[in-house]
Amino acid sequence: MEKTIVLASGNEGKAREFRSILEPLGFKIILRKELGIDSPVEDGKSFLENAIIKARYASLKSNMWALADDSGLAVDALNGAPGIYSARFAGEHGDDKANNQKLLELLKDVPAQKRTARYYCALCLVRHGDDPVPLTVVSSWEGSIGFKELGSGGFGYDPLFQVTGRNCTAAQLPPQIKNLISHRARAIQALTYKLKYNLHD
């Protein structure tokens, strides 16, 4: 029997990614906006806390299972910034160009070997709004911050994110490769494993 999960996001790209992996397992994914659900105040101190806030909120509003993700970039030389503020680092939410420019400016005097960074993705799935045992996963993707933007793929900080072990940025990777090795891909794979063995009835 198919189980419907509300994705606590308005991002169609994320929805496609989640659908491609979860629908073959018998889960139907719908976006919160399809149900007229707004987004809650994300006042957590970590990616995981914010993912839990979003999942619980969507589940309470819909009376359905809900899945949320919260993700971003942590740069070692900036003590983990931009962190949970990744999408609004330069002020306006989702202004990738301004966020990348601010990051380059803050790192202008930092040498290559000290520009290490990683992307994080936290996922949370709840079966109801007060679920005492939410299913959670946190995954990361190692890299460093380049000195200029390279590549036209991806989004966010991808043109600056030099992937460890590959001579390119995340924005230069073919999508089919990125979708196998990124922080979100790893988190979805881990969640899928947990769904198969812990929650699927």
In terms of Cα–Cα distance, which of 157, 184, 44, 154 is closest to 90? 157
pTM higher than 0.85: yes
Which range marks the domain in which residue 134 is found? 3-199
- The pLDDT, as a whole number, for residue 79 is 98
Q: Specify the CATH number for the domain of residue 10.
A: 3.90.950.10
How does pLDDT run along the chain (201 residues), one tens digit per residue? 578 999 998 777 778 778 877 888 788 999 999 999 999 999 999 999 999 999 999 999 999 999 999 999 999 999 999 999 998 999 988 789 999 999 999 999 999 999 999 999 999 999 999 999 999 999 999 999 999 999 998 889 999 999 999 999 999 999 889 888 999 889 998 998 888 776 544
Q: Indicate the burial class of 51 (C-beta count within 10 angstroms; 0-12, 13-18, 19 or more).
A: buried
158 catalytically annotated: no
CA–CA separation, 161 and 74 (whole Å): 11
Dihedral Cα 24, 30, 31, 35, nearest 10 deg: -170
Number of structural domains the chain divides into: 1
- The pLDDT, as a whole number, for residue 137 is 96
Q: Which is catalytic among the residues 38, 43, 69, 70?
A: 70
- The pLDDT, as a whole number, for residue 106 is 98
Q: What is the DSSP letter of 193?
A: H
The neighbouring-strand residues paired with 87 are: none
Per DSSP bridges, beta strands 161-163 and 135-145 are antiparallel
- The pLDDT, as a whole number, for residue 1 is 57
